[in-house]
Amino acid sequence: MTDLLPLSSNPTTTAVILIDGSCSYMDLQESVEQRLRAVRGLLHSLAAMNITQADALDVQHISEAAYLLSADAWDLVRAAHKAAVREARQG
């Protein structure tokens, strides 16, 4: 049985993108790390910008991407925690 968990960042009430909560802890953790690396890179780029010369739309796009990736990562962390508990109980 699959445990499908909706992302908290879904823009509508219909869950379109789902996390498979039945995945292993390690698989979920790898997805967390991928998103956090991407967020880190985006925020590094933002920090390196000369903000007085930055295009407002570029800053908005970077901020939105960082928000979505970090929200996904948080949802994946919660799913990974559940998987770790499940795997610990299974021995």
What is the secondary structure of 19-78 as a DSSP string?
Answer: EETTS-HHHHHHHHHHHHHHHHHHHHHHHHS-TTTS-HHHHHHHHHHHHHHHHHHHHHHH
Q: What's the pTM value of the predicted model, to 2 decimals? A: 0.89
User: pLDDT per residue over 27-46, tens digit each?
Assistant: 999 999 999 999 999 999 99
Listed residue (70, 87, 1, 73) closest to 30, CA to CA: 73
If one counts the domains in the chain, the total is: 1
User: pLDDT per residue over 46-85, tens digit each?
Assistant: 999 888 888 999 999 999 999 999 999 999 999 999 999 9
Range of the domain at 62: 4-90
